[in-house]
Structure 1
Amino acid sequence: MGPATEALAVSRDPYRLHTDITPGVGLPVLLLHGFPDSSRLHDRLLPRLEGRMPAVRFDFLGWGKSGKPRGCACTAANQMGGLVAVADAVSARLDARRLVLVGHSYGGSMITNAATGNSNVRSLVYIAGFAPEKGESAAELLAKFPGSRLADAFNAVPIPKDQGAVDLYVKPDRFRDVFLSNRLSTAEAAVAAASQRPATPATSNERSGAPAWKTIPSWFLVSTDDRAIGTANLRFMAERARARTVEADAPHAACLTAPNAVTDLILDAAGTRSLAHTGSSARTAAAMSGAAAAIGLGTALLWSARGRRQSSRA
């Protein structure tokens, strides 16, 4: 049996995401996956967070054009509108004004932009996630240091009735190596690969705005066997952000292979635990509480984007 969850009805962009709420006490944490992951990435976290803190996860149907009905233009940045609407609804329902944002993979880019200028975000947690500087793209960060195996790992699938447009999926025979570092069984990897949420080629080239990690405390999990973003690239971003950093013997999908470490780090970011070491150079042994801090960090960034985006559209 999984944790008790409650569906939250969202009137805005219901075709693009759904949410679950896990009951608990303390600060709520919002969990955001990247691409090509889905919210199944959090399946092993929710039972560990239940009763300890309210946890909300988002499941995007896709990043980019595929996240909207076919034929509707939508960049990754525009996805934030639907996500922030959900985050606001969740915050009101939980009667909490302080939140922790957790972002995995590309979810880190989203929280980096979403939380800028929002004083209600307590902390940012990056779980093997992107933490770009202003003007940087995910593609540039992937190429900074060796280690990423994504370059030739994607299949481009044409979108019907949308000439020239494609969805990107990681090839099924590459998913276990690139995202899981062969840490899960072939059968488990096949399930994860089948639940992918696609992206478009433009997604990884989108340039970041002013980063929230310059003003909001951040936590970072560095996976020491990351073959998607690359371990060296993760270390670079964690150190630049001056994040409270831990390292875990885990693949890119650390939430699936090191859920206890991820949970502990989220609790650290929420202020319910204390880290033995802080600062950009702090590192712990494998399977320590680093993953949790990274997740909490990513979720916090997303919630804060609403005010900034509304003012920019005014």
Structure 2
Amino acid sequence: MKSMFAGLVLAAAMFVGANASAQEPMHKPTIVLVHGAFADASSWNGVVKILQKDGYFVIAAANPLRGAKSDGANIGSLVADLKDPVVLVGHSYGGNVITEAANGHSNVKALVYVSAFAPDTGETVAELAGKFPGSTLGQALAPPAELADGSKDLYILQNKFPAQFAADVPAAQAALMAATQRPLAQAALDEKAGDASWKTIPSWFIYGDADKNIPPQTMAFMARRANAKGVVVVKGASHVVMVSHPEAVAKLIEKAASAQ
């Protein structure tokens, strides 16, 4: 793992050097994107293209989806190796992960929650998802898949995936996302969150008002509680607002990255 992170850091240095001749600012923070459950790093592709075009070094990290503490430690190791200022961006369950990953890392300058959970200390995903009515995720899940070690994984039924997860994404693309989805460990739903890093690190939120996974009312509550520096609500957007509206998501990330 450390060797992989070291390679990413070297790539970041090469990226900055390559862009120096183009007179790109040398002080732009690195953007680390963390996907959520039932997705993978490719869900950030549209956002990555925009950020790279605008001169940012971006890492769309692989999230193990095993639990916020272990996943947060994984992303935290990447943050520690980068050294330079970092903006952590999390989608859905990835919000739990960036909240955990930021703890103890003074180079994290901002947190951006994209249709994401921003738990307080001791809260769980299951608790937050049920705080307000509106989520229909439970009805769309397949029976838990039991693994060799006795743990269980959760998937969204492929025939329900488009309407539940990606209603504003073209049908063919949503079907592809359904087939390539990565499962969440069932135990992660009830794992209590660690320290709430958004209490000391500035945060931004963006989500759609047609989200069926996390009720928009829940995300509004979390944004208010975090005293978010900026909140964007995308009309008609589904849970994967970064796929259907990459421009809006990239714009907010850049706002967080450039904030003083």
TM normalised by structure 2 equals 0.85
> Is there any run of 5+ residues in structure 2 with no aligned partner, and where?
17-24
Task: Give, in angstroms, the shift of residue 83 of structure 1.
Answer: 2.4
Instruction: Give CA deviations for 1:2-42 in whole Å, capped at 9, x if unaligned.
Output: xxxxxx95179xxxxxxx96946511110001111101111
> Is there any run of 5+ residues in structure 1 with no aligned partner, and where?
1-7, 13-19, 65-74, 275-314
CA gap of 1:11–1:269, structure 2 versus 1, over 3 A, is closer
Distance 2:78 2:120 in 1: 26
1:208 lines up with 2:211 in the alignment: no
Task: Give, in angstroms, the shift of residue 183 of structure 1.
Answer: 1.2
Match of 2:20 in 1: none
Instruction: Give CA deviations for 1:114-136 in whole Å, capped at 9, x if unaligned.
Output: 21343321111000110111111
Distance 1:170 1:119 in 2: 37
What SS does structure 2 have at the residue aligned with 1:37?
coil
Alignment of 1:141-152 (within 5 A): 141-152=128-139
Instruction: Give CA deviations for 1:226-251 in whole Å, capped at 9, x if unaligned.
Output: 11111111111111111121111211
Match of 1:38 in 2: 40
Match of 2:60 in 1: 57
Contact kept, 8 Å, 2:37 with 2:182, in 1: the verdict is yes
Match of 2:115 in 1: 128
CA gap of 1:113–1:165, structure 2 versus 1, over 3 A, is closer
1:118 lines up with 2:105 in the alignment: yes
Q: Match of 1:121, as an amino acid?
A: V
Structure with the larger helix share:
2
CA gap of 1:219–1:173, structure 2 versus 1, over 3 A, is same
Instruction: Give CA deviations for 1:89-126 in whole Å, capped at 9, x if unaligned.
Output: 3x15xxx2x11110110111111122134332111100
What SS does structure 2 have at the residue aligned with 1:227?
coil
Question: How many residues matched?
Answer: 240
Task: Give, in angstroms, the shift of residue 197 of structure 1.
Answer: 1.3
TM normalised by structure 1 equals 0.71
Task: Give, in angstroms, the shift of residue 145 of structure 1.
Answer: 0.5
Q: Match of 1:47, as an amino acid?
A: K
Distance 1:112 1:80 in 2: 8
Contact kept, 8 Å, 1:27 with 1:53, in 2: the verdict is yes
Contact kept, 8 Å, 1:158 with 1:167, in 2: the verdict is yes
1:191 lines up with 2:183 in the alignment: no
Alignment of 1:91-240 (within 5 A): 91-92=82-83, 96=84, 98-155=85-142, 156-159=144-147, 161-162=148-149, 164-180=150-166, 182-240=167-225
Of 197-206 and 22-31, more deviation after overlay is shown by: 22-31
Contact kept, 8 Å, 2:152 with 2:187, in 1: the verdict is no
Distance 1:114 1:50 in 2: 23
Match of 2:256 in 1: 269
Distance 2:199 2:61 in 1: 25
Distance 1:28 1:192 in 2: 27
Q: Match of 2:73, as an amino acid?
A: G
Distance 2:47 2:132 in 1: 30
Contact kept, 8 Å, 1:34 with 1:104, in 2: the verdict is yes
Task: Give, in angstroms, the shift of residue 222 of structure 1.
Answer: 2.5
What SS does structure 2 have at the residue aligned with 1:44?
helix
Instruction: Give CA deviations for 1:139-192 in whole Å, capped at 9, x if unaligned.
Output: 000101111111122122222x33x43211111111111111x21222111111
